[in-house]
Structure 1
């Protein structure tokens, strides 16, 4: 078995966690490959690009946190290899274990005692008024929001060509079940189980309080459009990472991506455990 490793060099304790992970894998005679930033963190020359790392690895381990995992999805590109998040610190929504559990992680790889959770990805296409197109992929969400102005903006959302609503708000979020625990949740959206075949459309600070989130099936196409030329440009972001300017007349089409993320899960760690921990749920 070969494990490809991606690490966030900006995360405090990343070098120590990387050394511990590589040591645990080496003791079990599990081979390792390093992505470029992980190689640089170790002081090792070279390193691999994300797609090459995915192709050459049996499992990919991502050291950092949920943000590092979102960036790793973009780096790796489409892959069916299991991806394990190893959080430096407390357990995250997207991580399989913490950096204190690398021995457990290595043992699980050796024994095959792990599962994978199939996570839906979004495929977004920005069709500009000038005829150009740009494609993006998201694990959590895509967002169309106001730009530099502090005012509310007007935008419309369509589902399979039918008008859903015209919003006056700070923006609009289209999230996957995985992303329901992120920006959408903070904007008042519902929690959705990762296994649900759904998207959630959530307005950000809407002018009318009755404009709430809507859960739709993930077989639909959602289209977002700015409404007023004098309120443009707006900003379109993908997993809080890519950010492009959207002008009046541009359209954003969002649908389910053709591939999924296979998120590795260890025994004893689940989505529901993460929800209880991160949201501080307690029984009565």
Structure 2
């Protein structure tokens, strides 16, 4: 790894400070550093230390991208990577940080291990999401966590039908439906009562939001299938929210198609961190007297 990119939550002073510290450390190791022009300006990073480019160009320049912020920053970095194979490592200055799992105090030591080859690489599932309207594809995009079909704020419950590989599965009356990757199972889907799914499992998770029927429960379907959500003709205002960051208006009869992407997201971790250690830290599963004694 010779060129390291940094993508930063620029609205957070701690993230800017960490970015400046990291850029200087990488420069001292003789590595090329690339940041966005805005990050270089806001963090006070000298151009002799790091090259400032448009953020969208960082993945093309780098062998590794360090994301400093929260999970939202990590998701934005995933979009910036697009179809490239550039791996990410997340440093958390946000609240929870399932994706940005490294604390700032361990940023340098974790990167030292990675540069020494002591790391583990995950390949995270992504979902391709498209919207079909009157037979035409009007949207095609990709998500890391989830695609959520939901009502607007003042609307009554929405109705939709769900099919798997063009075979009818069930219909639902609810406030919406979350279609999630295993990675996204610890995000909105978890808050809505869905299960935690290990990221190595091959599945797409469907979680109804406040369903009218209590028997309408979350369900995981095979990852190699195509999930189609067809909206009822009820005149409601509905929205498709993608990774909690972008929205797309939906109309009567629209079909939302969700399937696994052929591309995977590469995520690097230190060897001393595994999925369950992250869950213990983030969900406080370690707060068990028996565990503390070991």
TM range (shorter): over 0.9
Aligned residue for 1:236? 240
1:197 to 1:174, Cα distance in 2 relative to 1, 3 A: same
CA distances 1:93-117 after superposition (whole Å, capped 9, x unpaired)? 1124111112213312331211211
Higher mean displacement: 187-196 or 105-114: 105-114
Aligned residue for 1:19? 20
Higher mean displacement: 52-61 or 166-175: 52-61
1:267 pairs with one of 257, 271, 292: 271
Matched, 1:182 2:193: no
C-alpha contact 1:223 1:253 (8 A) present in aligned 2:
yes
- TM-score where L is the length of structure 1: 0.93
Q: Once the 2 structures are TM-superposed, how far is the Cα of residue 139 of structure 1 from its aligned partner? A: 0.3
RCO (CA 8 Å, sep 6+): is it higher in 1 or 2? Answer: 1
Higher mean displacement: 180-189 or 267-276: 267-276
- TM-score where L is the length of structure 2: 0.90
Matched, 1:149 2:154: yes
Matched, 1:168 2:173: yes
C-alpha contact 2:71 2:94 (8 A) present in aligned 1:
no
For 1:26 and 1:106, how far apart are their aligned partners in 2? 13
Higher mean displacement: 209-218 or 49-58: 49-58
The alignment partner of 2:196 has SS state of coil
Matched, 1:279 2:280: no
Matched, 1:116 2:121: yes
CA RMSD in angstroms, aligned pairs only: 1.9
CA distances 1:119-165 after superposition (whole Å, capped 9, x unpaired)? 00000011123734211110000000001424211111111111111
Aligned residue for 2:58? 53
For 2:94 and 2:245, how far apart are their aligned partners in 1? 22
Structure 2 unaligned spans of 5+: none
1:24 to 1:106, Cα distance in 2 relative to 1, 3 A: farther
1:60 to 1:15, Cα distance in 2 relative to 1, 3 A: same
For 2:58 and 2:128, how far apart are their aligned partners in 1? 22
Aligned residue for 1:35? 36
Higher mean displacement: 198-207 or 266-275: 266-275
Q: Once the 2 structures are TM-superposed, how far is the Cα of residue 26 of structure 1 from its aligned partner? A: 2.1
Q: Once the 2 structures are TM-superposed, how far is the Cα of residue 202 of structure 1 from its aligned partner? A: 0.5
